[in-house]
Amino acid sequence: MLHLDITGEFVAFFLLSVVMITGAVLTISLTKVVHMVVSLAAVFLGLAGMFVLLQAEFVAFVQVLIYTGAISILMIFGIMMTEHRAEGTDPVKPLHETLAAVAALSLFGLLFFAIRASDFPEPAPFPFGEDQTLEIGKLLYTGYLIPFELLSVLLTVAFIGAIALARKEAG
């Protein structure tokens, strides 16, 4: 199975995945928290690129808007409001970290094995290239109306709750 079609999609996928993995690793390994946010934003952007590759333009747009925009900014606020000194570099719990690394690697090994072993059926052509936003809108307001409304309630509750939690104690 070593014959590769060097298509445009492949090249783009390769570049984007390099960006994303690098960003993810940096997010974990950098010492300054602000740098971490920047690399995390790179992962978010890379993921948006992936969505475009997968013909999910609307979701990609939302990804950029919410993740790269809102959540990153929110995180920066979180950092500013708490503490932004450097993370301690020395491992305080070597056993814990080793075990966590082993567990993460094993989990990856398991997933990788599962992916390799699975036999995916040949996909049907993706029919929603044009006017995808319209289709999503129709779906949201027909089949998924109730979840959609519930989600809005959830968001409202979450924001009110966040405000209640974060505001300075009056008494």
Partner 1 sequence: MQSIASYAWLVPLFPFVAFAVLLAFGRGFRTSGIVVGSAGSAASLIMSLLVLAERLGTNADDYNAGFEWIAIGEFTLRMGFEVTNLTTLMLVVVSLVSFLVNIFSAGYMRDDERITVFYAYVALFVSAMLALVLADNLLTFYFFWELVGVCSFLLIGFWYAKPEAKKAAKKAFVVTRIGDAGLLIGILLLFWHMPNRSLAFTDISNLFGQPGMADSGMTTLIALLLFLGAVGKSGQFPLHVWLPDAMEGPTPISALIHAATMVAAGVFLVARTYDIFLASPAAMDTVAFIGAFTALFAATIAVAQNDIKRILAYSTVSQLGYMMIALGLGSLAGGIFHLFTHAFFKALLFLGAGSVIHAVHTQDIREMGGLGARMKLTAWTFAIGALALAGIPPLSGFWSKDAILTAALAGHPALFAVGLLTALFTAFYMARLFFLVFAGKPKTGARAHESPAVMTVPLVLLAVPAIAAGFVEMPWNGWLGEWLTGTAEETHGGSLAFVASTAVGLLGIYLGWAVYAKGSIRRDAVSSRMPWLLRALERKYYIDEAYQRVAVRPLLALGRGLQAVDDYVVEGIVRFAGWSAIAFGRAGIRLQNGQAQTYGLTAVIGLLVLAALFVGRRFW
Partner 2 sequence: MLSSYLTLAAILFCIGLYGALVKRNAVVVLFSIELMLNAVNLNLIAFAKYGAAPSLTGHIFTLFTISVAAAEAAVGVAVLIALFRSRGTVNIDEFDEMRR
Of 111-170, binders to partner 1 (CB under 8 A) are 113
Is residue 72 a contact partner of residue 40, using CB atoms and an 8 Å limit?
A: yes
Tokens representing 151 are: 């989600």
Q: Which of residues 100-159 bind partner 2 (CB under 8 A)?
A: 100-101, 103-105, 107-108, 111-112, 115-116, 118, 120-121, 123-128, 132, 135-136, 139-140, 144, 147, 151, 154-155, 158-159
Q: Could you tell which of partner 2, partner 1, none binds residue 124, using a CB distance below 5 to 8 A set by kind?
A: partner 2
Of the residues 82, 95, 170, 171, which one makes contact with partner 2 according to CB under 8 A: 82
CA atoms of 71 and 66, how far apart (whole Å): 6
Interacting residues of 42 by C-beta distance below 8 A, sequence separation 6+? 19, 20, 22, 23, 26
Give the nearer residue to partner 2 in terms of CB position, either 101 or 171: 101
